[in-house]
Amino acid sequence: MPPAHPFDFGAIDDDEGDTLHEECGVFGVIGVTDAANFVALGLHALQHRGQEAGGIVTHAPDVGFQSVRRFGYVRDNFTDPETMAMLPGQLGIGHVRYSTAGSKGQTAIRDVQPFFGEFAMGGAAIAHNGNITNANALRRELIERGSIFQSSSDSECIIHLMARSLQKTIPDRMEDALRRVEGAFSIVAMTRTKLIGVRDPLGVRPLVLGRIGDGWALSSETCALDIIGAEFIREIEPGEMIVITDKGIESTYPFRPKRPRFCIFEHVYFSRPDSILGGRSVYETREAIGRELAKEAPVEADLVCPVPDSGTPAAIGFSLESGIPYAMGIIRNQYMGRTFIEPTEQIRNMGVRLKLNVNRALIRGKRVILVDDSVVRGTTSRKIKEMILDAGAREVHFRIASPPTAWPCFYGVDTPQREKLLAATMSEEEMRDHLQVDSLRFISLDGLYRAVGESRGRDASAPQYCDACFSGEYPVEPADMVEQGFRPKTAAE
Amino acid sequence: MPPAHPFDFGAIDDDEGDTLHEECGVFGVIGVTDAANFVALGLHALQHRGQEAGGIVTHAPDVGFQSVRRFGYVRDNFTDPETMAMLPGQLGIGHVRYSTAGSKGQTAIRDVQPFFGEFAMGGAAIAHNGNITNANALRRELIERGSIFQSSSDSECIIHLMARSLQKTIPDRMEDALRRVEGAFSIVAMTRTKLIGVRDPLGVRPLVLGRIGDGWALSSETCALDIIGAEFIREIEPGEMIVITDKGIESTYPFRPKRPRFCIFEHVYFSRPDSILGGRSVYETREAIGRELAKEAPVEADLVCPVPDSGTPAAIGFSLESGIPYAMGIIRNQYMGRTFIEPTEQIRNMGVRLKLNVNRALIRGKRVILVDDSVVRGTTSRKIKEMILDAGAREVHFRIASPPTAWPCFYGVDTPQREKLLAATMSEEEMRDHLQVDSLRFISLDGLYRAVGESRGRDASAPQYCDACFSGEYPVEPADMVEQGFRPKTAAE
Amino acid sequence: MPPAHPFDFGAIDDDEGDTLHEECGVFGVIGVTDAANFVALGLHALQHRGQEAGGIVTHAPDVGFQSVRRFGYVRDNFTDPETMAMLPGQLGIGHVRYSTAGSKGQTAIRDVQPFFGEFAMGGAAIAHNGNITNANALRRELIERGSIFQSSSDSECIIHLMARSLQKTIPDRMEDALRRVEGAFSIVAMTRTKLIGVRDPLGVRPLVLGRIGDGWALSSETCALDIIGAEFIREIEPGEMIVITDKGIESTYPFRPKRPRFCIFEHVYFSRPDSILGGRSVYETREAIGRELAKEAPVEADLVCPVPDSGTPAAIGFSLESGIPYAMGIIRNQYMGRTFIEPTEQIRNMGVRLKLNVNRALIRGKRVILVDDSVVRGTTSRKIKEMILDAGAREVHFRIASPPTAWPCFYGVDTPQREKLLAATMSEEEMRDHLQVDSLRFISLDGLYRAVGESRGRDASAPQYCDACFSGEYPVEPADMVEQGFRPKTAAE
Amino acid sequence: MPPAHPFDFGAIDDDEGDTLHEECGVFGVIGVTDAANFVALGLHALQHRGQEAGGIVTHAPDVGFQSVRRFGYVRDNFTDPETMAMLPGQLGIGHVRYSTAGSKGQTAIRDVQPFFGEFAMGGAAIAHNGNITNANALRRELIERGSIFQSSSDSECIIHLMARSLQKTIPDRMEDALRRVEGAFSIVAMTRTKLIGVRDPLGVRPLVLGRIGDGWALSSETCALDIIGAEFIREIEPGEMIVITDKGIESTYPFRPKRPRFCIFEHVYFSRPDSILGGRSVYETREAIGRELAKEAPVEADLVCPVPDSGTPAAIGFSLESGIPYAMGIIRNQYMGRTFIEPTEQIRNMGVRLKLNVNRALIRGKRVILVDDSVVRGTTSRKIKEMILDAGAREVHFRIASPPTAWPCFYGVDTPQREKLLAATMSEEEMRDHLQVDSLRFISLDGLYRAVGESRGRDASAPQYCDACFSGEYPVEPADMVEQGFRPKTAAE
């Protein structure tokens, strides 16, 4: 299994589970010659959403559906001419995935999407970003009726529900299936002639539409439209299903409408800074978060340094707002190497050193503000602080571009169990003591809402975003997890 | 052959030869348990100096010398316990290399260092950073006398000269050999009991000494001392040879003294920003270059954006000096992918898109200053300019953190032939027209000298650095190249 | 895809489809520590029955079912400790397969058995040797009802039929499923606690029972019992199902009884010569075929030479009966190499030369009898004849240890389409002319029956064996093939 | 390192060192288009002489010398078009090697031949079969003078001696070099325009000349001429050097003449049975050995069985002479698999079982004569005997087709140290008791000489062959080994 290579704006210490991971990215295209090449490029641009494995399915009239699914990077698996020649056709979809905490290291290739099913009226392939919160119950019911599951993925339920639907067309069967499903889903699917995109009624995960020549593309993020030179048209709406053929696009809203609750963490961390969300680049939003943070939690210091790379835009914002010079006090080694053998002599913070090095000559004697995107378990923050102090910094002030992460996500993000989250067991004060820094401040939930464009902050009675990881308020009951013993927030908390 | 993965502060488009590459990094350690693990970590930190191949040699009394040399990254080749168990001992050296332009793609594993020779008094291994400018003549002479060359590397001459020396000890033989050699060399070598470091009298390439527990380390850069937790002691002096045993360090100066001419491009580009050169972090020097550039070539604009990642520190300096906000207008995809199959539809600037994406929402309508480290062939600069304009920028101003690169390097850097260098055939004005940008300015040679700490600028009668790539003044006659037809600068130029 | 390495007594020219291939071998064991190691050894001994891919499934209480399925040889895939540690437990089954002509080169790993299904009452894995002749119809029906097929294998039908059965136990569901299935099957299956063996009512494919310590083994052939040191107990009877648990063995006969029709070609070619069939070693049967052939078709000659290796036992028998000395006139190169690049100069019979070489000094001037097991397309026979004549043989007489192969097999053997079979379009006389040999004789069908122990020869009204490949009399209607246009033998033929 | 796949007529248990191994095979060709393809085929036919690694060197005017050297089989390394395209030209040589006992498992790729050296007058490559008995002394002398050795191979001395020769042409330098060398050598070498073959004055190892179209081939054995369709012309004479160019062949005899002493074991075991030695096929010689053995050591029995595959021709001869029926009582599994994990339950003779299985049904109750080529350590013989008895044989009689192997070979064969040879420490009687068989007989040394064609047996005063492994009479003093403590036979022995 290949080591996960974090994206530029990705994680620094994911081997210890100290980062949240988006689980998936989806991409599809129709109406272009050699669709697989476009899908490969799109997935490459979405690699930060899932680094463990990827797959592409295409369809061409003479050879039917073709599928290649592999562990590892898109750049390694979908670039050689031999492989790409196995994926002919003008229509294709793809998926990149990150394994969830539970199955890490056990993922079989059969868990890698897109999934394919042969139905009486023809085949269909689907790629799913999100998480089905009632998958266990659905699976039990389907096995009882004679379905044979091939994977441990919750997404496979959708294919089996479709196989058992009494509808006549694949889009109709997909509607049928998705009405039984609870949770978050942004889906890209295909039949022999159709490219299909669907988003759950809350619209938790992103999905966008682009135009490429006479064809169309669907993607988790706009950055994947850029790489293929497609024009960004619009976001698929929460609860919308669109079916694209060579005749054009049909849009329907098959689900009971709900108030949308887009994942606010996509702004903070998951999406690429060059993607556009809500009409603004994610980079700008993050810079705004940094500015907001500088207003909420100012401190006197000599330098503002990002924890690279994910803290960079917020650190720039903090510097611009505060007037304190921005500097790269921590340098990131892009070559990775988490599995080096630790020399017998004691090397402190070995794991972090492989990826980060403090700019010692720069830091010495300075009061340093470190800006990071979030604190999950706190292990990395602690090591970074030590490295900074070892290098001779006079003061270390942490500023975090998100509120305390106190609750796990059940909608398609890989989070540790609740008791492993630092903020689940400590107050901000206690965390500061635990990390032994001169000060530690998180942006407020209201501040975050303001930075993402809600000028009046969070509407507590009807929050505009899904912020369950901060607030503990889950817009969809996580049924499977409750069955497994998860205790949701009580009124008292 | 693995694709080259540029370092964070490395190249963006090296597949087209539009970047200069340091050819080698060297590292050695003595007096530590499991020396190979330290060497592996050190080479990992030096990977930006050579990404094509790497090797480690160790010595342990019971098994003698052991060697592992492989194509690919240190993190891939020197991390599994099986390989590392093949390299026991408390003494070891290593090398990472980048192939030179001439032999690109033809490098055999036998060209990968360290080289090893068995002499009458025992074995020795050497790792060489630099380039021997009279290697062809030496090779002819040695073959005439019966030496059998195994590699196409100029460094092998040193081993054969040592084999034929009449001296009694290996350090003495090495002195003998190096007195015959012209050009640039920073060497780390080892015998059964000694770790040896040498630097040519001009001191063109860096070499530093560090203390680790009771042992010692030699490294091309200080960043590799940091990763193993070693203390940076001092630079090896130009013309100095040090021999380290368990008894301590002996220092001698075996060569005829010359005025030192350290490579000024190490400051501009080659060295890692967190390394220390001349008592200052390379990052700070680059920031100072950016400030100097802002003074020399100011322009009104809305944003200062680096060409990532190598332009970043100078862009920050430019922003700090000019007061124009710093922003990440170009986002880098760390996952690479130069070999994707180009879709049949026309995608403009496909190669660049795989690595860079413009932050479209941020750039639109703005006057943008792009700061890059250097212009080599100019192909990448042109593509980046187009992407920025496509994204809707109003004006594009290039500011380059080095003077025009008009001459090839023959001292250990991989440069294109002179006629391929944009600045060899065009004036600054012509280059601006060629790139079709609103303005283009390079830092002056004097400005660069000031930024690296020479407050009075360049001493034209006795330049403080090797700046042949800018000035055409070669401190050592490139004999082999002249023999092959290279025409040095004439008095008139 | 790995090259097929024919077994000692296997094929010589399978790249041109001039040999028949058994499609599968199955093996299972219960009640032994580390069952997977035994299964690996058993499959290794059965490798001649399927060289393309293999899989093993085991069950252990703490980890549940585990499965490893791979392309390539057992010796390459199931020998490293890491893989075997993934397959813990005292109960396991395995499968080796050869792809059928149709899907050659397209086999996906998902077509590799054993297949696994999770049912309401727990999981089960099955490994199938044979061929289901109504698989297409079954598959259509199952898809119509909502089953999702994952492979292109006919064997997957069995798992889906089991999933839909209303029975309460897995053996009962398997009975239900197999009653719907037509064709040939010898199956080894397992649940969490049971090892199951079944043979179709005709008993076309072999399946034997062995005792190993306190445990039991099921195997396609007895040679796989020998390798693990198990004692051969008995053959599973046609139509018998046995269920083995730690309580012992239960035997039932769930199908409507039929007169058994064991595959006579297992005696001629498929089974290993050291396996026991019908109480006698296959080697002895083949020697008897050679003796019978010498009686039926004597000829004066100097040497009897086998076409190695499959013709060896019959050639020995021919020599013993005729008194003509046995000699190795053709030597086999075990190192293979079908894909060498043909030199530009003309090399005659290049393909055959890579595997066979004529013992020129021995053959020169001699009258040679060549004994081969069968003639399929005749291409190899022709090349061998030419090599023998090139070496200076005076006469060449072919003697074939089976009757003319004039009909394809639909019961688990990979045969060319009927029109490619030499004997489908030519009489014995015409074949002799086609091959340009001095004489060509096949054993008679009655002679073959006598050699396998039926002293009165073939009972034309109720043949004792399945001999469809010779006689065109198919004991089970090949429904799928007829639907696809296969024309069975008419009364007139 | 790939497992050794014994040739058909090769070893059965080489993992335990219970077989003698030829160390090398050499092949060269000139005057044919795409010479490398011919060399690859030739080496494939010689794979039984060296299975660990192989290399090919070619020369073409435009690209010069090209070399590919790899571990593993010829069929795996020299068949893909990409590799072969790296080896253009009409002139090429190749080598297959087996590592010697000493360096087993430590062989580096740099020990793989052909070796190449660049001399003042141009390059040359050489491939060597044999062993230099004064290599250690030569190596010391050469290092003293400044030569750098790259391998641990004794053959590298030749290249360094050539580099230091004062002669003007490469053939002259090779003569110079070989006059300093003691021991056995059959060499194929090449310059830019010449193919060179040399055999030491004793002619210990074979070397033959063949005609292919307008070109020529040199090979260790004639079987490699057959595979490329070349005509066998003659053996290179002991002490002869031939130089082939496009002008023709020049033959000289540069060494002091000696009475030839060809290796008699080439007849017994090393050479392929279809090769021609001394005008007769090796197969016929081995059959004659079997006949001689039947005369010398008759015994009443029911079956004569070979230990496959190397005992096969002698067993056939024994059967023909004695009239006792020949039968394949032991079946060989060609799929190998020495590294299977031994199941925890006791499996007797696990190692042997992976390769051999007794034909139990055939052997039961019989008196069996087992014919093997030689007894080295005796471990395999003992295991085979046990398997035969387990299967129910009534009596077991071993007949060995060579005299007792009591002395190691120093002329290019990998033998265990003397004390590991069963015959070095036991009489024939003691060996019989040690193996616990009903009888054990070796052919006499005179009988062996008769079988290879010396009708009057061995000439004790001037033996016609090198039989040092049987007689302890070494035709060339093994200087290096004596220096390392080997005690040659004393007059008393």
Helix crossing, A312-322 with A282-296: angle to 10°? Answer: 50
Distance from CA of A348 to the nearest CA of B (A): 8
How far is it, in rounded angstroms, from Cα B80 to Cα B70?
13
Cα nearest neighbour of C122 on chain A = A143
**pLDDT tens figures, B16-50:** 567 776 789 999 999 999 999 999 999 999 999 99
- Most confident residue range from C326-340, C348-362, D466-480: D466-480
Average pLDDT, stretch C409-438? 93
Closest CA to B451 of B323, B325, B322, B313: B313
Residue count of chain B, please give it: 493
C113 contacts C127 by C-beta, under 8 angstroms: yes
- The domain made up of D280-337+348-483 has a fold known as Rossmann fold (3.40.50)
Interface partners of chain C (CB pairs < 8 Å, 3 or more) are A, D
pLDDT at B345: 63
Q: Is A157 a catalytic residue?
A: no
pTM (2 d.p.): 0.85
Residue A304 burial (C-beta neighbours within 10 Å; 0-12, 13-18, 19+): buried
Partner residue opposite D148 with nearest CB, options B110, B144, B160: B160
CA-based nearest residue to C42, from D193, B309, D337, D44: D337
For residue C255, give both structure tokens: 């199908």
Q: How confident is the model at residue B14 (pLDDT cuts 50, 70, 90)?
A: very low
Please tell me the distance from the alpha carbon of residue C86 to that of residue C89, in angstroms, as a whole number: 10
- D22 or D225, which is more confident? D225
Nearest to D468 by CA among D191, D144, D221, D133: D133
Contact criterion met (CB < 8 Å) for D328 and C280: no
Residue whose token pair is 């069955």: A483
Q: Do B331 and A8 touch (CB under 8 A)?
A: yes
Distance in angstroms (rounded) separating the CA atoms of residues C326 and B446: 94
DSSP string computed for B40-71: HHHHHHTGGG--SEEEEEEEETTTEEEEEEEE
Q: Say whether B310 counts as a known binding-site residue.
A: yes
Give the pLDDT score at A349: 77
Q: Which residue of A has its CA nearest to C168?
A: A144
- Predicted local distance difference test score (pLDDT) of residue A10: 27
Give the E-state strand segments of B310-392 in sequence order.
330-332, 356-358, 367-372
Q: Is residue A120 a contact partner of residue A97, using CB atoms and an 8 Å limit? A: no
* 3-state per-residue secondary structure call for A108-155: CHHHCCCEEEEECCEEEEEEEEEEECCHHHHHHHHHHCCCCCCCCCCC
Tens digits of per-residue pLDDT, B54-82? 999 999 999 999 999 999 999 999 999 99
> A480 vs chain C: nearest CA distance in angstroms?
19
Q: Between β-strands A439-442 and A395-400, what pairing exists: parallel, antiparallel or unpaired?
A: parallel
* pLDDT of amino acid C119: 95
ipTM rounded to 2 decimals: 0.89
Domain boundaries of chain B, sorted by first residue: 14-263, 286-336+348-457
Q: Identify the chains in contact with D, defined as 3+ C-beta pairs within 8 A.
A: B, C
Q: Is the pLDDT confidence value at D337 over 60?
A: no
pLDDT tens per residue, range B394-423:
999 999 999 999 999 999 988 888 999 999
Please give the interface size between A and C, counted as residue pairs whose CB atoms are below 8 Å apart.
45
The CATH number of domain D23-263, selected from 3.20.20.60, 3.60.20.10, 3.90.78.10, 3.30.390.10:
3.60.20.10
- Comparing C-alpha atoms, which of B195, B198, B230 is closest to residue B212? B230
pLDDT digits (tens, 9 = 90+) for C46-56: 999 998 899 99
**Structural contact between residues C131 and C412, judged by C-beta atoms closer than 8 angstroms:** yes
Question: Quick check: C17 pLDDT over 90?
Answer: no
| C79–D339 CB contact, under 8 Å | yes
The size of the B-D interface in CB pairs under 8 A is 45
The dotted CATH code for A14-263 is: 3.60.20.10
Q: Residues of chain B with pLDDT > 90: what percent?
A: 81
Q: Which candidate from C143, C148, C164 shows the least CB-CB separation from A159?
A: C148
D323-326, long-range: CB within 8 Å, 24+ apart, which pairs? Answer: D324/D369, D325/C320, D326/C316, D326/C326
Longest dimension (CA), chain A: 72
Q: In the predicted model, what is the mean pLDDT of chain D?
A: 91
Q: What's the pLDDT at D99?
A: 60
**Tens digit of pLDDT per residue, chain A (493 long)?**
222 222 222 233 344 567 776 689 999 999 999 999 999 999 999 999 998 899 999 999 999 999 999 999 999 999 999 999 999 999 999 999 986 433 444 457 888 999 999 999 999 999 999 999 999 999 999 999 999 998 889 999 999 999 999 999 999 999 999 999 999 999 999 999 999 999 999 999 999 999 999 999 999 999 999 999 999 999 999 999 999 999 999 999 999 999 999 999 999 999 999 999 988 999 999 999 999 999 999 999 999 999 998 999 999 999 999 999 999 999 998 776 546 777 766 677 777 888 899 999 999 999 999 999 999 999 999 999 999 999 999 999 999 999 999 999 999 988 888 999 999 999 999 999 999 999 999 999 999 999 999 999 999 999 999 999 999 999 999 999 999 889 888 766 6
Average pLDDT on B156-163 reads 96
Distance, in Å, from the CA atom of C308 to the CA atom of C331, rounded to the nearest integer, reads: 7
pLDDT for residue A341: 78
Among all chains, which residue has been given the structure tokens 């997935």? Answer: A43
pLDDT for position B346: 62
- pLDDT by residue (tens digit) across B244-265? 999 999 999 999 999 999 999 9
* Predicted local distance difference test score (pLDDT) of residue B493: 66
As a whole-number percent, the residues of chain C with pLDDT over 70 amount to: 92
Q: CATH: 3.40.50.2020, 3.40.630.10, 3.30.365.10, 3.30.2130.10. Which one for B286-336+348-457?
A: 3.40.50.2020
How would residue D339 be classed by pLDDT, with cut points 50, 70 and 90? Answer: low
Q: Which of A24, A157, A223, A305 is catalytic?
A: A24
Residues B78 and B56 sit within 8 Å (Cβ to Cβ): yes
Q: What is the pLDDT of residues D204-214, one digit of tens each?
A: 999 999 999 99
Q: Cα(D488)–Cα(D493) distance, rounded to whole angstroms?
A: 10
Q: Quick one: pLDDT at residue A99?
A: 60
Say yes or no for a CB contact (<8 Å) between A160 and C150: no
When pLDDT is averaged across residues D308-313 and rounded to a whole number, the result is: 93
Q: What is the largest CA-CA distance in chain B?
A: 72
For B431-474, write each residue's pLDDT tens digit. 999 999 999 999 999 999 999 999 999 999 999 999 999 999 99
Q: Which of the four pLDDT bands, split at 50, 70 and 90, describes residue C333?
A: confident
Render pLDDT for C279-289 as a digit per residue (tens, 0 to 9): 899 999 999 99
State the nearest Cα–Cα gap between D33 and chain B, in angstroms: 24
Give me chain B's average pLDDT, please. 91
Task: Examine the pLDDT at C143 and tell me if it is beyond 70.
Answer: yes
Q: Which positions ≥6 away from B347 have C-beta within 8 Å?
A: A228, A229, B353
Neighboring chain C residues of A143 at a CB cutoff of 8 Å? 118-120, 163
Assigned fold of C283-338+347-476: Rossmann fold (3.40.50)
Partner-chain contact C281 D341, CB within 8 Å: no
pLDDT of residue C493: 66
| pLDDT at site C15 | 44
Determine whether domain A283-333+351-462 maps to CATH 3.40.190.10: no
Percent of chain D with pLDDT over 90: 81
Segment among B336-340, C248-252, C427-431, D90-94 with least mean pLDDT: B336-340
